[in-house]
Amino acid sequence: MRKIILTIAVGCLISFALVANIALADNEEAASYAEDTYDYSRKARDADTLEDAQYYAHQAKSVAEDAESAASDANNDDAASYASDAYDYAKKAENSDNLEDAQYYSHKAMDAAEDAQSAAEDAE
């Protein structure tokens, strides 16, 4: 009986360790994707043409979606929410009709991406 209980306890500990490592890896991925979102959003904000701003905003939107997914997989609601905000702002920047609006929304995406990165790193 003791052997069975000990085996079950060890199995539970191993399972918990594996789950914790998966969440840690997902938070690390979320932080990395959020950093990429920030970088692309900065490039969009600093672009000299609307076409360049839209291109970089599209790239930011793509990695923001990855950041949100990784944060969700890690059950990190704060990081996922900020990454979702970054995605929304990057989408607005991508769909902007003029450079000034694209730069404005790209700056907002930068701020949200920075918050997503911080939330993911805090959970590591």
> Would you kindly state where each structural domain of the chain is located, as residue ranges?
2-122
Tokens in use for 44?
């969009």
CATH number, span 2-122: 1.20.120
**Residue 121, pLDDT score:** 95
**Residue 105, pLDDT score:** 98
The overall average pLDDT reported for the chain is: 88
State yes or no: pLDDT of 29 exceeds 90: yes
State yes or no: pLDDT of 100 exceeds 90: yes
**Stretch among 46-50, 107-111, 120-124 having the lowest mean pLDDT:** 120-124
Please tell me whether the overall predicted TM-score, pTM, comes out greater than 0.85 for this model.
no
8 Å CB contact between 106 and 53? yes
Rounded CA gap, 49 and 107, in Å?
15
pLDDT tens for each residue of 68-77 = 999 999 999 9
Residues 88, 80, 94: CA angle, nearest 5 degrees: 20
**Residue 17, pLDDT score:** 43
